[in-house]
Amino acid sequence: MNHYRIIEKPLMTEKCTDCRDAHNVYIFKVHKKATKHQVKESIEKLFSVKVLDVRTINVLGKPRRRGRSVGRTPSFKKAYVRLSEGQTIPIFEGL
């Protein structure tokens, strides 16, 4: 699988910012079938950093209602990527 298809987008929330500042952990939305090893390899190649560990979680979509019809928001997978001390990913630093 292509490195650009594994990493779909970075997540930018208050929790992500707190994790980044306190623990040097970056959070990404990743492809549903991506493994931890693929995510680690992709982050290291795309951003030229050293990844210490990767934790993944499958986020279920929330039920939503619009009038009489009931549906769900899409489910997705996200990865918590911890970098070695002193390393950063520059796309997060400008925000």
Tell me the pLDDT of the chain (95 aa) as tens digits.
899 999 999 999 999 999 999 999 999 999 999 999 999 999 999 999 999 999 999 999 999 999 999 999 999 999 999 999 999 998 877 65
Are 31 and 86 a contacting pair, CB within 8 Å?
no
Nearest to 12, CA basis, from 35, 33, 29:
29
CATH 3.40.50.1370 fits domain 3-86: no
The predicted structure's pLDDT at residue 95: 59
What pLDDT is recorded for position 94?
A: 64
Helix H, strand E, coil C: the string for the chain is: CCHHHHEEEECCCHHHHHHHHHHCEEEEEECCCCCHHHHHHHHHHHHCCCEEEEEEEEECCCEEEECCEEEECCCEEEEEEEECCCCCCHHHHCC
d(CA 22, CA 12): 15
* pLDDT for the residue numbered 92: 76
Give the predicted TM-score (pTM) of the model: 0.89
pLDDT of residue 1: 83
pLDDT of residue 90: 85
Q: Where are the domains of the chain?
A: 3-86
76/31 Cα distance (integer angstroms) = 8
